[in-house]
Structure 1
Amino acid sequence: MTTLEIDHVSRWFGNVVAVNDITMTIGPGVTGLLGPNGAGKSTLINMMAGFLAPSTGTVTLDGAAVWRNEGAYRQIGIVPERESMYDFLTGREFVLANAELHGLKDPRGAARQALATVEMEYAQNRKIATYSKGMRQRVKMASALVHEPSVLLLDEPFNGMDPRQRMQLMDLLRRMGDEGRTVLFSSHILEEVEQLAQHIEVIVAGRHAASGDFRKIRRLMTDRPHRYLIRSSDDRALAAALIADPSTAGIEIDRADGALHVQAVDFPRFTELLPRVAREHGIRLLTVSPSDESLESVFSYLVTA
């Protein structure tokens, strides 16, 4: 079980602060790293990988500093966002070169296995220059996996992939997380993060904005009203009873189907109020669904806070 510790890390370039006093722990399983463009995600990943030194603070892998630690690369695999590849090589040659750089006992066997893992055997003898964006992403993934790292860092790994390739990569990352490997990936496609990540870390303007399961993060946002979609056996009577309580800030009745759209400003009180009011008035609750507990809603709240 390998753990990355980021302890009060900052990084600046001249007068520009890219990462500002971030502390977080990345452990086994799949973690999604979220943030708007320019938030500092790539800078943070590069420091985790040992490619960039923190200006202040430390990044450690199981207690050992990553910066200038060659031994860390035996445990870390990275898929960078940048397209820095040797286009004159074939896919097989590129992955084999990485296997040889790692000093593996059977580099050819390891390269063959890594290419099979990402389903690139069919194009392994073609020049990388002829690859599509999605194929390049997969061969980068193969080179990152060739030494079977315990930590995998991926910067926008789904870029350029078609739907089938995305599903295959998501299944692969999910399996690696289930095996106990530490997987961190950044993505601007929130649906993919929502489906794949067991844990999220959010960076906004270089600062650490939130950490954990996004549903729990939403429930901790007490300054934001919680929105619910409610259907019942008597929507109007339920609306009248709920709006009289200070835990609700507003209720709208959907003209199409009569459903209630409720804003609750006191989450604990409202969760106790709703079933009690329904019971007292003999109203059956048919649907009670949070309408703003998606990752998209949470991310939007954090970015605009």
Structure 2
Amino acid sequence: MTAATVPAIELRGVSRWYGNVVAVNDVSFEVGPGITGLLGPNGAGKSTLLHMMAGLLRPSAGEVRILGEPAWRNPAIYRRVGLVPEREAVYGFLTGRELVELAARLHGLPDPAAAAARAIDLVEMGPHAARQAGGYSKGMKQRIKIAAALVHDPQVLVLDEPFNGADPRQRLHLMDLFRRMAAEGRTILYSSHILEEVERLADTVLVIVAGRLAASGDFRRIRALMTDRPHTFTVRSSDDRALAARLLAEPAIRGIAFEDGRLEVRSAELLAAARALPRAAREAGVTLFEVRPTDESLETVFSYLVHR
């Protein structure tokens, strides 16, 4: 985002407390177009943040702005924002089509039936649209909620655990849908407890720990900045012991161990290790078969941040 660009979502010094319990503590960040994953352990404040961003909850301190406008007590933002709550917020006595058409009418769309049909097709719920929502599976309820949130073609989409109950094929379809929306310039912010999905889908992550923002950005860059955590590699070669002996002379190598017949190498710096390993192999006359980072995943980064 340039200096002249208004962030799609902006939080400035936001806190929220309930009596003596602080749920969110002085959180600031900006979110632009693309897909952003909101992560944190249970009770970290994720849902509280999402509710404040959706204008459903008033910050105790600070300010939440959506597309440059205040989120609290500003119904006009709902013309440009879609919300998918974690709860199964469906009227069981309505059919799926009626539920999405109701959302279209609430938004004042000129042709609610046509808008609902388009949104239902986006989430592949057409064959089930005539059934009462109370009889849907958890995954189907989730998809019809997403259709209701998309019916007015929002610029910003806020989702709380959107893949709950979805089977693997439905997850892949929803991921592809969100990617297409992001490619069109929309902003998608979603929470998930399935880190593998966030790693595959999100461009950036926001990590909330104990109500505070612990880290934000690309998780690989976050990992690179964790200088207090050595990088670990599993290495396979034609002669692991000869390679290990040569690596001990490399300043970048912080430790070496043999685990279950595999050579594990630890280094303080990722790039330094990437240079040291082939150099040591060449000088030792050893052939490298595999060099695999073992702690560069989003799951590892999340674990490091939560347990610091």
> Any idea what SS the aligned residue of 2:185 has?
coil
- Conservation of the 8 A alpha-carbon contact between 2:89 and 2:145: no
Change (3 A) 1:286 1:131: same
Gaps of 5+ in 1: none
Which residue does the alignment assign to 1:9?
Answer: 14
Distance 2:71 2:28 in 1: 15
Residue 215, structure 1, aligned to residue 194, structure 2: no
One-letter identity of the residue aligned with 1:297: T
Output the aligned Cα RMSD: 1.6
Residues 19-38 of structure 1 mapped to structure 2, 5 A cutoff: 19-38=24-43
Which residue does the alignment assign to 2:171?
Answer: 166
Which residue does the alignment assign to 2:51?
Answer: 46
Which residue does the alignment assign to 1:302?
Answer: 305
Residues 197-276 of structure 1 mapped to structure 2, 5 A cutoff: 197-256=202-261, 259-276=262-279
Change (3 A) 1:109 1:255: closer
The alpha-carbon deviation at position 86 of structure 1 amounts to 1.4
The alpha-carbon deviation at position 53 of structure 1 amounts to 1.1
Query: TM-score, normalising length from structure 1?
Result: 0.94
One-letter identity of the residue aligned with 2:77: A
Post-superposition Cα deviations, 1:15-58, rounded to whole Å, max 9, x if no partner, equal 11111111111111111111111111110011111111111111
Percent of counterpart pairs with the same letter?
61
Q: Which of 253, 261, 285 is the matching residue for 1:282?
A: 285
The alpha-carbon deviation at position 266 of structure 1 amounts to 4.0
One-letter identity of the residue aligned with 1:294: S
The alpha-carbon deviation at position 254 of structure 1 amounts to 4.5
Which residue does the alignment assign to 1:151?
Answer: 156
The alpha-carbon deviation at position 234 of structure 1 amounts to 2.8
Distance 1:253 1:209 in 2: 33
- Residue correspondences, number: 303
Post-superposition Cα deviations, 1:242-301, rounded to whole Å, max 9, x if no partner, equal 123443332123554xx4211113445434433333333333333222111111111111
One-letter identity of the residue aligned with 2:237: S
Distance 1:147 1:80 in 2: 17
Q: Which of 117, 122, 132 is the matching residue for 2:122?
A: 117
Distance 2:242 2:19 in 1: 62
> Any idea what SS the aligned residue of 1:154 has?
strand
One-letter identity of the residue aligned with 2:16: R
Distance 1:268 1:222 in 2: 12
> Any idea what SS the aligned residue of 1:89 has?
coil
One-letter identity of the residue aligned with 1:287: E
Distance 2:179 2:281 in 1: 41
One-letter identity of the residue aligned with 2:288: L
